[in-house]
Amino acid sequence: MNTKIQLQDLGNRDYKSTWEYQEELFKDIVDLKIKNRREELDLPTPNYLLFVEHPHVYTLGKSGDLENLLLNEKQLEAKGATFYKINRGGDITYHGPGQIVGYPILDLENFFTDIHKYLRFLEEAMILTLAEYGLESGRSEGETGVWLGVGTPFARKICAMGVRASRWVTMHGFALNVNVDLGYFDNIIPCGIRGKGVTSLNVELGVEKVDEEEVKSKIIKHLTQLFEAEFIN
């Protein structure tokens, strides 16, 4: 079992090229697992966490409803945004500047074989990170991701999640709003959930900008503890 996770910060990168890169890493791990089984080998499988910030983009999961995108092609172009249907779970979401997107590409057989536990650990890492900024967040029953004001009329989502897994290898992941222009969420019904808001860390703290590198370091710290992993560059 290899519990080391290679950390790669891709900076600002186009959604499509990042998705293709994820698919490449994902396929390499799956192919190695198949080779191990077929040839009765025990070669260690790698794990990755990609951090990235995307230009304005909307993505729709395989179970999502296209009607939750409230813009047509020309309107998307006018807003400088792109749109992709993708192979993760979940409905529609937005990615853009000021958002920390994390794509863990893990062989869960290196850690534990439980997708439910995996999602809860990703959520817990965000909840613990937000707590370091004095914010109480939590889960909303039946709705993946991390929320503030759960159970109140002011419930608002701060972190969206959507994953894909095959042969216990994961891809896609989480998107934490840190310094996001929340106006872009007005163009969708986020995650297909009506009547609930979206928020960002800087808005909740009442500041113009939060240090995103500091947020990433806190996320890594909590993922390290939860997954009993070691991050390497």
**Residues 194, 68: contact at Cβ < 8 Å?**
no
Distance in angstroms (rounded) separating the CA atoms of residues 124 and 166: 23
Q: Which residues line the annotated binding site?
A: 88-95, 160-162, 173-175
Of 81, 125, 191, 229, the catalytic one is 191
**Residues 57, 95: contact at Cβ < 8 Å?**
yes
Active site residue 191: yes
Residues 6+ apart with CB under 8 A from 146: 123, 126, 127, 130, 137, 138, 139, 157, 158, 159, 161, 176
Q: Which residues line the annotated binding site for substrate?
A: 88-95, 160-162, 173-175
User: Side chain identity at 125, as an amino acid letter?
Assistant: A
For 156, phi then psi, to 5°, come to -145, 140
Distance in angstroms (rounded) separating the CA atoms of residues 62 and 189: 16
Pick from 108, 88, 103: which is nearest to 45 by CA?
108
Residues 6+ apart with CB under 8 A from 83: 57, 58, 59, 60, 69, 76
Which active-site residues does the annotation give?
191
